[in-house]
A and B are shown apart, each in its own frame.
With several copies, the nearest count.
Chain A
């Protein structure tokens, strides 16, 4: 059981591009932590620095408490599953998996046993005599995973290890990896594009953006308490609805005293240029308190709601009226892409995605009523960072 810690680790590529910026991260011994983030945010670069394949420009990397910045990859006790498999094309699957073991000069019998064991777990026993080019993409990916596991490294790095599998196989592999992790106990960093993977496998998730860590926390934590707009939109699928609206101070505004920006009880955010009060969302007390703590009131705020929190009803029922533009029926659930209507009945330019269980309750072109439990609304500053108010 080995800890991994990054202190201010940065990477600047020779062309000047700063792919990773001052990342601080402590991975507890035996923990599996997931790295999430949009394409090009520096996930692979971070893994490669931990592996020793990329020089660390600044900061310190410790594995098991020891500084390893200068250590060669083979001396770090790290195994890695590459995004592109990177199997040895001239070796059979067996030899691919056994390669690291033969380098350690283990006895042939033990090598055989270990390879067979890991192959059985990953359901690739049949493939052992085949070469990479005789396998399908998914099979190659599993061989690559087996290769990394066979070595039983202290630290495991996975770079999108399941990206080429179909949904069924991916679900199955997810369970298997979870089981293997529990057994081997290797400290793991796991890069994935798939949130379900991240949320189900990892005890904590690191969300990166342009080389900078945005938030680290338990999966549901990120989902429920996003630190900023970026996290809010990135976590959860379909993405959270996010709208920018004018802040209207409401009754009691400024009453609390001079120099203090304050908003009254009736304060609300109004969406859509001409929409008027029809598309107003009232601020909850917590948001009002956050505003009060600021020296000046901002002109606008952003407010978001997750598609599954949107409640659909008859046109008369909801807080908003909206017209359904696109319906996506996925079988067990449906997505409705709506455009909210202003008081006058004209589309107000505010798009809302709603997710509902089962079949679509409304067809394209129908008008529906939408409402949002105020506890489901998330409030953000409308500036660059877009931090959460609460």
Chain B
């Protein structure tokens, strides 16, 4: 047996678990979920690589025939680049707006005690509770009333509003754990609320911000119902709307759909790898005694 590796201290990124059992149990726990995660994902890959549009029912993870034709067709479709760009643009803006607003709101909710605080926290949850189908129409009117139909801004606004509640809850939980003395230090150093927030709180919250950003991004990135509702110009469509048309009411081109889905997921993957480094914890280590 290899020697035991003790519980590693905060800045020890390379420690190893203690003993065989400790090494094994995380795997055992992750196994069923990884399967439930990966099997469908492999299916998607296979369907994307199969030069056919029908649904594939075999359990084999390898396609019988190989081809990139699905990808070519999806990429070659008119407006593909335009819609892909829309998606990226909308998602990026949503991430920005969502993170910005949820970070500020969460910070206010975490640090300040103001009259409607609890009410605000509750109100934020209300949105999450109604079925999307129901909210869609009032949202349509709101966006219309704001003159933002067919505008990227309208979509971004609605997506952020969708993502913000959860992000706020999440970030607030994180902010609550930041040591206040560090902020007090900054106050003593002459920082106003803005400098405090931008230069001290946000940098320390990178792991939570990264999760929040991912969540916001994915909210916007995969959504098609609202996008299809608010956008009545195909040039304004986001890519998921287009993608959904492959399995839309009048068709089911699974091959294209799968290829498109893989294309859609690529940027998220990229984002994940970009953010991965931010997601390591222990950022506050060393700030205060102990």
What residues of chain A have their CB less than 8 Å away from a CB belonging to chain B?
13-14, 51-55, 69-74, 78-80, 82-90, 99-100, 103-104, 131-135, 137, 140, 147-148, 151, 164
Docked complex Cα distance between A379 and B3 (Å): 46
**3 pairs of A and B residues whose beta carbons are closest in the complex:** A133-B286, A84-B290, A132-B286
CB distance from A386 to the nearest CB of B (A): 33
B286 contacts A140, CB within 8 Å?
A: yes
B195 at the interface (CB under 8 A from A): yes
Contact of B19 among A13, A72, A87, A134 (CB under 8 A): A72
**Bound form: Cα–Cα A70–B20 in Å:** 12
Q: In the complex the two chains form, is B190's CB within 8 Å of A135's CB? A: no
A14-B14, A80-B188 as given contacts; A72 in contact with B287, CB under 8 Å: no
Q: How far is the CA of A174 from the CA of B185 in the complex (A)?
A: 23
A70-B4 contact, Cβ under 8 Å, with A90-B283, A104-B190, A151-B189: yes
Q: When chains A and B are docked, how far (Å) is the Cα of A134 from the Cα of B283?
A: 12
Indicate if the CB atoms of B190 and A103 lie closer than 8 Å: yes
Across the interface, B200 reaches (CB within 8 A) one of A51, A82, A84, A88, namely: A88
Given A53-B184, A53-B187, A90-B203, A74–B192 Cβ distance below 8 Å?
A: yes
Q: Which of B191, B192, B283 contacts A89 (CB under 8 A)?
A: B283
Taken together as a complex, chains A and B put the C-alpha atoms of A221 and B92 apart, in Å, by 68
Is B19 touching A99 in the complex (CB atoms < 8 A)? no
Interface residues of B in 34-92 (CB under 8 A from A): none
A86 touches B181 (CB 8 A): yes
Looking at chain B, what size class is its interface with the partner chain?
A: 35 or more
Q: Give 29 pairs: A residue, B residue, CB < 8 Å, sorted on A.
A: A53-B6, A53-B9, A54-B6, A69-B3, A72-B192, A73-B7, A73-B187, A74-B187, A78-B188, A80-B185, A82-B184, A82-B185, A84-B289, A84-B290, A85-B288, A86-B184, A86-B290, A87-B185, A88-B186, A88-B200, A90-B204, A99-B191, A100-B190, A103-B189, A104-B190, A134-B286, A137-B289, A140-B286, A147-B189
A131 shortest CB reach to chain B, Å: 7
CB of A89 within 8 A of CB of B184, answer no
Given the known interface contacts A70-B4, A88-B200, the answer about A99 and B189 at a Cβ–Cβ threshold of 8 Å is yes
Known: A86-B288, A140-B286, A151-B189. A70 touches B14 (CB 8 A): no
Residue in B closest to A45 when the chains form the complex, CB atoms: B9
Contact of B190 among A53, A54, A74, A82 (CB under 8 A): A74
Structural contact, B189 and A89, CB atoms closer than 8 A: no
B286 touches A55 (CB 8 A): no
A100 proximity list for chain B (CB < 8 A): 189-190
- The reply to whether B3 and A55 contact each other, CB–CB distance below 8 Å, is yes
Q: Which residues of A contact B190 (CB under 8 A)?
A: 74, 100, 103-104, 151
Chain B residues closer than 8 Å to A134, beta-carbon distance: 11, 286
| Chain A residues, Cβ within 8 Å of B285 | 89, 132-133
Q: Which of B12, B188, B199 contacts A73 (CB 8 A)?
A: B188
Of residues 164 through 200 on chain B, the ones whose CB sits less than 8 Å from some CB of chain A are 179, 181-182, 184-192, 195, 199-200
Complex contact A54–B9 (CB within 8 A) = yes
| B15 cross-chain contacts in A, Cβ below 8 A | 14, 55
Proximity string of chain B (85-129) to chain A, C-beta cutoff 8 Å, 1 when within and 0 when not:
000000000000000000000000000000000000000000000
Asked whether, in the complex, the Cβ of B12 is within 8 Å of the Cβ of A13, the reply is: yes
Determine whether B5 belongs to the interface, using a CB cutoff of 8 Å to chain A: yes
B147, chain A: closest CB distance, angstroms? 41
Q: Are B192 and A84 in contact (CB under 8 A)?
A: no
- CB B193 to nearest CB in A, in angstroms, measures 9
Q: Is the CB of B10 within 8 A of A133?
A: yes
Residue of A nearest to B289 (CB): A84
B288 touching A72, Cβ below 8 Å = no
Chain A residue nearest to B285 in the complex (CB): A133
Interface residues of B in 244-290 (CB under 8 A from A): 282-290
Which chain A positions have C-beta within 8 A of B283? 89-90
Partner of A88, one of B4, B14, B182: B182
Chain B residue with the shortest CB-CB distance to A100: B189
A52-B6, A55-B5 in contact; A132/B184 too (CB < 8 A)?
A: no
Q: Is B233 an interface residue (CB 8 A)?
A: no
Q: Could you tell me if A131 and B6 are in contact, using CB atoms closer than 8 angstroms?
A: no
Pairwise interchain contact A86-B4, C-beta atoms closer than 8 A:
no
Q: How far is B180's CA from A73's CA once the two chains are assembled, in angstroms?
A: 15
A55 to chain B: which residues have CB within 8 Å? 3-6, 15
Which of B11, B12, B14, B286 lies in contact with A87, CB distance below 8 A?
A: B286
Contacts A71-B4, A83-B289, A147-B189 known; list 11 others, CB within 8 Å.
A52-B187, A70-B1, A72-B18, A84-B181, A86-B185, A86-B288, A89-B283, A89-B284, A99-B186, A99-B189, A134-B11
**Given A55-B3, A82-B184, A89-B287, A14 contacting B13 (CB threshold 8 A):** yes
Inter-chain contact B6/A73, CB cutoff 8 Å: yes
> Chain A residues near B288 (CB, 8 Å)?
84-87
> Which of A88, A131, A164 has a CB less than 8 Å from the CB of B185?
A88
Complex formed: what's the CA distance from A91 to B10 in Å?
Answer: 17
Closest to A137 in B: B289
**Contacting pair A87 B287 (CB below 8 A):** yes
Q: Which residues of B contact A83 (CB under 8 A)?
A: 289-290
